[in-house]
Structure 1
Amino acid sequence: MRWIIAAIVAVLLVIIGWRFVPERDEIVIYSAKGVVTVNGPDTIAEAVAVQNGRILGVGARQTLTANYPDARIDETFAGKFIVPGFIDPHIHMVLSSLQYAVPTAPPWPMATPDGMRDGYPTREAFFARVRAVEAEAKPGEPLVIYGFHDLVHGPLDRHDLDAVTTDRPLIIWHYSSHDFYLNSAALEWAKIDASLHEKFEGVPLGEDGLPTGRVFEDAVPHLLETLGGVLMNPFKVKKGLDGFSKLLREGGVTTVADLGYGAFGLGLEDLNIKVNWQSPAHSGYRLYLVPEHRAFEKKFGDKRVETIKDMVSGARGTPAPVLPQVKFFADAAFYSQTMRVSEPGYLAGQSEGSQGLWVIKPDELTSVISPYWDAGLSVRIHSNGDEAQSATLAALAALRNRNQDLRFVIEHGGLFSPDHVAKAGAFGAAVSAASHYVYYLGEAYQAPLGPERGQWISPLASLSAAGVPVTLHSDAPLAPPLPLLAASVHMTRATREGGVLTPSEKMSAYEALEAITIDAAYALGLEDELGSIAPGKRADFTILSENPLVVPGAEWPNIGVWGVVLGGEKRPVSGAEN
């Protein structure tokens, strides 16, 4: 009888996804080929002792066993390397849930939960993919396809999409996530006509006086009044987030922060997190939330700062912890050439002749941020173009007169001139850089930016030398949430075309590892909890097949990820050996 019960238990463990959970108060010593602590470039240990989800000690195995004679020795990682748990400090939970659930036609190979998906690097290939998806879709229903990029696929308007179909609303979602392109049926379905041009900058008109089909930035909320019901199908959202979570686990990520909490509506976001993420114990990674200023201003008005502080303290319940930070936007998107650049503006591409867009005007930045800053809330500010960097750093200089200690993290940081680099160091900024600007668009952006500004894309080595803490983020789903791949890009400065952009800005192996561990924890304000392997910190580790500090940068994406230890609990990637 007992063997039958044992067999049933074994089957149930497989079904629910067995994982080792140490008994409470038990001390476990994880022995490894090496423990890369990120407490200095040469700090390599042999083992780490863990109790109740916290690190007790790290060092030589013999020393730890002597210090903790009753500890259980775990040899699972005897041939592997333990590094601090990888952190992606800027992702988007709902956006990832949506985009990983719709058909794609990306301009370059794209990591998906089902493996790498081929890119469509020419206009012809892109339209062939769109036609194939359209032919297989249910007749008459609105169809959204993600991945178009104008610098790869060329210009796009309603006439191009009408040539694919006039029998259904067809919506192409730009790779930046900030732009949509609609065929005539979609324009009619979404009630977008020429009258909206006076209201929204993001509804341009063609020579015929009618909408071109492009809808972007300030006009997107109007589009989502119709499109939102299609995108936010709860079954698709769950499928998308499940796939996104799978990617995070495969990448060895133990912690993420959603930069934009509230942007899609607290009701939808809270439900998505409660149902589909749940908690670290179930989802396999920690999630923190950073409120978005415009969303909270719209919903809570004068109570917005008080509401955020109540969320941070726990006085107002949230489905995941809220950090004492607020997200702002200085300008628009790097990928869609709407970031704000200096004169003479864009020299080529879909924004040729313009300078891009402000989200918060330069003379308003300080006053918009001040109520939060004065309440002790740190800043995470989307700031991409070089003119945006000038405005953002000017605001920081003014804010520093009021508080020297709060964190001010520039998000994405597409362009930094040498003057911007110096000011970022002098004013105590940190930079959370978008991981793949260099690789995806480093060469494609040379014509739109020109030779001088084209060399200012993500100068991370210069920023580090200026004393600026630098981390990397995926901005997922805009780039894959795979930290080893992200770090590799900035160690090699490789472009997708096979070149190298500003090789003087290459990061060292140790700088790159810091960027996805301790410096990422700094951006979250959690460096006392996460980001390195030291006594008292959370026992969050990523388990690798090789020591990344001795592997060439170009090979980092090929380092095997066994899985993670989260709060002292082993969590192998599906199929990994225990």
Structure 2
Amino acid sequence: MNRFLSLLIALALAGWPSLAAAQDRQVATGADTIIYPATVVTMDESRPTAGAVAVHQGMISAVGALDELIGALPAATVDSRFADRVIAPGFIDPHIHMALSSIQYAMPLTPPWAMAGPDGMIEGLATREAFFERLRAIEADAPPGEPLIVYGFHDLVHGDLDRHDLDAVTTDRPLLVWHYSSHDFYLNTPALDWAGIDASLHDRFEGVPLGEDGLPMGRVFEDALAVLLQSVAPLIMAPDVLESGLENFSGLLRQGGVTTVADLGYGIFSYPLEDANIASNWVSPEHSGYRVYLVPEYRALERRFGENRVQAVRDMVSGVLPTPAPVLPQVKFFTDAAFYSQTMRISEPGYLAGQSEGSQGLWVIEPDALVDTIRPYWDAGFGVRIHSNGDAAQEATLDALAALRADDTDRRFVFEHAGLFSPEQAARAATLNAAISAASHYVYYLGEAYQAPLGDPRGDWILPLNSLSDAGVPVTLHSDAPLAPPLPLRAASIHMTRATREGGALTPDERLSAVEALEAITIDAAYALGLEGEIGSITIGKRADFTVLNANPLETPGENWGEIGIWGVVLAGEPRPLP
């Protein structure tokens, strides 16, 4: 044994400080620690506000008054760049769609209402005439003869749409109009021929309605989309489209001060495509400025992994099966269809107006199959994120949850979108230990327009978040991007005011308080992800992910939250200002 090695052993036996002990001293004195003085809004009930936060190696190491932190951490560096600003927990959008956002933020747009884009607000087209004027202009500017897909039509704003209306725009090319809900397409006659959509498909799919002439009306939706996507996918999922769209989407996330998102529906388009998109265009938190988590969708798991689907989720979560971003131990399910396109499942007498008049909407999983569909994942210990919109859907989902709760009273179970909740259903959700991840935009965009289709009292049941929160149900807000812009302060503002785009206020009694609204985009959003131990509040031991604001939301009227300036974010302790 050489003398140097012998000396090392002797020193170790004599109690020479370990590397861990040296690191502990480093943390204790504040070496390599940065103290940020600011107005700190913590969302931590034990210390709601502070004058500074200390960060060490990407983690929060201390929170308190500035002089206290300087005294306790004498070797720390004080960085005063936020001294006149407000540090809040990093904003979280717990339900977005990476692939769909990459696609739609690259499309020509005809939005029914003002829509935030990467370069500012895009004017809404509030009338049928304005929609067709814009559609004709887009068609005239497109390369001749090529198929054209335009996103943003909404029937409750723009009226009914069929192939004859689109043939009047052009029959020189396949023209496809994508409904704002993303669940419906409308095709002109050349597009029907191009995509192979004919009357024979009506017997197989509810989503291919026929007109009085026995021919397709042009609308293709829900169960028939798989057929249409065989033709559409090469156009909307081309690498250059995905790159452009995700760049635009990422810019919006940064403008909104978002530090964490969850993709709800990983695998719906295809694992190879989504993996390539995320790996090439998002790359990493360091590259893009926000964290991405993935929640796999149950049908995609069944298609790809069959009987091995539950083990596949285990392998994704553990990293045995490589994924381009971390996978949460949760699975996404669907009870019913879409709020926007009036295909969510509602109670009798069904829809009273609109394109689904006379129907009750669609089930995705039939009520008697819900428990059996969820059970394998539930028994394996995974949380549930379930798309459940209409009041009939809530009843079916609550029944399924009641059956599942017989085996586990604490497992995370989150209703996604939660379009309608009756008072009785809200109370029952609390009893069953459910959580709500609410679509941030239903009230503003369609709160008034939906009164005629829903009627009384269902029109008052749109996202009753105050009632749910008062009952003890954790409530968070999500954009469901690209269906609404990922701007959390704007989303929270809507639910503090219950403002509608027409200038009214829907069910004012359901307004959230300022604290509830800020919880909904921070700590309660972290709860929906199962990450409340890591993010969502400014607490020692959590990640140093912050949103830096020019004003304190808790001291700003709710109607003005959307105007609060955002300096940028701090991600893992690293300041990232907006350009």
User: Does TM-score exceed 0.5, indicating one fold?
Assistant: yes
Counterpart residue number, 1:157: 162
* One-letter identity of the residue aligned with 2:561: W
Match of 2:35 among 6, 29, 39: 29
Please give the alpha-carbon distance, in whole angstroms, between the structure 2 residues aligned to 1:214 and 1:318: 35
Match of 2:359 among 311, 330, 354: 354
Please give the alpha-carbon distance, in whole angstroms, between the structure 2 residues aligned to 1:314 and 1:42: 36
Pair 1:197 & 2:202 matched = yes
Please give the alpha-carbon distance, in whole angstroms, between the structure 2 residues aligned to 1:373 and 1:499: 42
Counterpart residue number, 1:573: 578
SS in 1 for 2:136: helix
Counterpart residue number, 2:526: 521
Preserved contact between residue 328 and residue 380 of structure 1 (Cα < 8 Å): yes
Preserved contact between residue 421 and residue 461 of structure 2 (Cα < 8 Å): yes
* One-letter identity of the residue aligned with 2:36: Y
SS in 2 for 1:78: coil
Please give the alpha-carbon distance, in whole angstroms, between the structure 2 residues aligned to 1:517 and 1:327: 21
Preserved contact between residue 31 and residue 76 of structure 2 (Cα < 8 Å): no
* One-letter identity of the residue aligned with 2:71: A
Counterpart residue number, 1:108: 113
Pair 1:508 & 2:508 matched = no
Tell me the alpha carbon deviations over residues 450-508 of structure 1, each in whole angstroms, 9 at most, x when there is no partner: 02000000000000011100000000000000000000000000000000000000000
Pair 1:363 & 2:368 matched = yes
Aligned ranges 1:10-409 → 2 under 5 Å: 26-32=32-38, 34-40=39-45, 43-409=48-414
Pair 1:539 & 2:544 matched = yes
* One-letter identity of the residue aligned with 1:428: N
Please give the alpha-carbon distance, in whole angstroms, between the structure 2 residues aligned to 1:536 and 1:236: 40
Preserved contact between residue 563 and residue 573 of structure 1 (Cα < 8 Å): yes
Counterpart residue number, 2:4: none
Please give the alpha-carbon distance, in whole angstroms, between the structure 2 residues aligned to 1:454 and 1:505: 13
TM-score by length of structure 1 reads 0.95
SS in 2 for 1:387: helix
Following superposition, the deviation at residue 136 of structure 1 comes to 0.2
Please give the alpha-carbon distance, in whole angstroms, between the structure 2 residues aligned to 1:117 and 1:318: 34
Tell me how many residue pairs correspond in the alignment: 550
Counterpart residue number, 2:555: 550
Please give the alpha-carbon distance, in whole angstroms, between the structure 2 residues aligned to 1:112 and 1:25: 42
Preserved contact between residue 41 and residue 510 of structure 1 (Cα < 8 Å): no
Following superposition, the deviation at residue 25 of structure 1 comes to 6.3
SS in 2 for 1:480: coil
Tell me the alpha carbon deviations over residues 39-77 of structure 1, each in whole angstroms, 9 at most, x when there is no partner: 139721000000000000101000001110000000010
SS in 2 for 1:75: coil
Please give the alpha-carbon distance, in whole angstroms, between the structure 1 residues aligned to 2:180 and 2:110: 9
TM-score by length of structure 2 reads 0.94
Counterpart residue number, 2:444: 439
* One-letter identity of the residue aligned with 2:279: K
Counterpart residue number, 1:421: 426
Preserved contact between residue 476 and residue 525 of structure 2 (Cα < 8 Å): yes
Please give the alpha-carbon distance, in whole angstroms, between the structure 1 residues aligned to 2:378 and 2:447: 34
Counterpart residue number, 1:21: none
Preserved contact between residue 25 and residue 52 of structure 1 (Cα < 8 Å): no
SS in 1 for 2:50: strand
Following superposition, the deviation at residue 404 of structure 1 comes to 1.4
* One-letter identity of the residue aligned with 2:34: V
Please give the alpha-carbon distance, in whole angstroms, between the structure 1 residues aligned to 2:205 and 2:71: 69
Structure 2 unaligned residues grouped into runs of 5+: 1-29
SS in 2 for 1:77: coil
Preserved contact between residue 208 and residue 219 of structure 2 (Cα < 8 Å): yes
Counterpart residue number, 2:27: none
Following superposition, the deviation at residue 236 of structure 1 comes to 1.1
Counterpart residue number, 1:454: 459
Preserved contact between residue 90 and residue 257 of structure 1 (Cα < 8 Å): yes
Counterpart residue number, 2:18: none
SS in 2 for 1:35: strand
Please give the alpha-carbon distance, in whole angstroms, between the structure 1 residues aligned to 2:337 and 2:89: 33
Please give the alpha-carbon distance, in whole angstroms, between the structure 2 residues aligned to 1:84 and 1:68: 22
Please give the alpha-carbon distance, in whole angstroms, between the structure 2 residues aligned to 1:214 and 1:101: 22
Please give the alpha-carbon distance, in whole angstroms, between the structure 2 residues aligned to 1:179 and 1:546: 41
Counterpart residue number, 2:14: none
Counterpart residue number, 1:19: none
Please give the alpha-carbon distance, in whole angstroms, between the structure 1 residues aligned to 2:440 and 2:46: 22
Please give the alpha-carbon distance, in whole angstroms, between the structure 1 residues aligned to 2:31 and 2:132: 59
Please give the alpha-carbon distance, in whole angstroms, between the structure 2 residues aligned to 1:422 and 1:25: 51
Q: Percent of aligned positions with the same letter in both sequences?
A: 70
4+ residue runs of structure 1 moved beyond 2 angstroms? none
Tell me the alpha carbon deviations over residues 354-378 of structure 1, each in whole angstroms, 9 at most, x when there is no partner: 0000000000000000000000000
Please give the alpha-carbon distance, in whole angstroms, between the structure 1 residues aligned to 2:48 and 2:534: 19
Higher Cα Rg, which structure = 2
* One-letter identity of the residue aligned with 2:491: A
* One-letter identity of the residue aligned with 2:566: V
Following superposition, the deviation at residue 405 of structure 1 comes to 1.8
Please give the alpha-carbon distance, in whole angstroms, between the structure 2 residues aligned to 1:280 and 1:522: 20
Following superposition, the deviation at residue 114 of structure 1 comes to 1.3
SS in 2 for 1:30: strand
Tell me the alpha carbon deviations over residues 252-278 of structure 1, each in whole angstroms, 9 at most, x when there is no partner: 000000000000100000000000000
Tell me the alpha carbon deviations over residues 297-343 of structure 1, each in whole angstroms, 9 at most, x when there is no partner: 11111100000111101111111000000000000000000000000
Please give the alpha-carbon distance, in whole angstroms, between the structure 2 residues aligned to 1:137 and 1:129: 13
Preserved contact between residue 326 and residue 377 of structure 1 (Cα < 8 Å): yes
* One-letter identity of the residue aligned with 1:144: I
Please give the alpha-carbon distance, in whole angstroms, between the structure 1 residues aligned to 2:251 and 2:72: 38
Tell me the alpha carbon deviations over residues 497-551 of structure 1, each in whole angstroms, 9 at most, x when there is no partner: 0000000000000000000000000000000000000000000000000000010
* One-letter identity of the residue aligned with 2:493: S
Please give the alpha-carbon distance, in whole angstroms, between the structure 1 residues aligned to 2:387 and 2:148: 30
Following superposition, the deviation at residue 188 of structure 1 comes to 0.1
* One-letter identity of the residue aligned with 1:327: K
Please give the alpha-carbon distance, in whole angstroms, between the structure 2 residues aligned to 1:96 and 1:253: 15
Please give the alpha-carbon distance, in whole angstroms, between the structure 1 residues aligned to 2:378 and 2:106: 37
Please give the alpha-carbon distance, in whole angstroms, between the structure 1 residues aligned to 2:482 and 2:31: 39
Match of 1:490 among 491, 495, 515: 495
* One-letter identity of the residue aligned with 1:471: T
Please give the alpha-carbon distance, in whole angstroms, between the structure 2 residues aligned to 1:307 and 1:25: 43
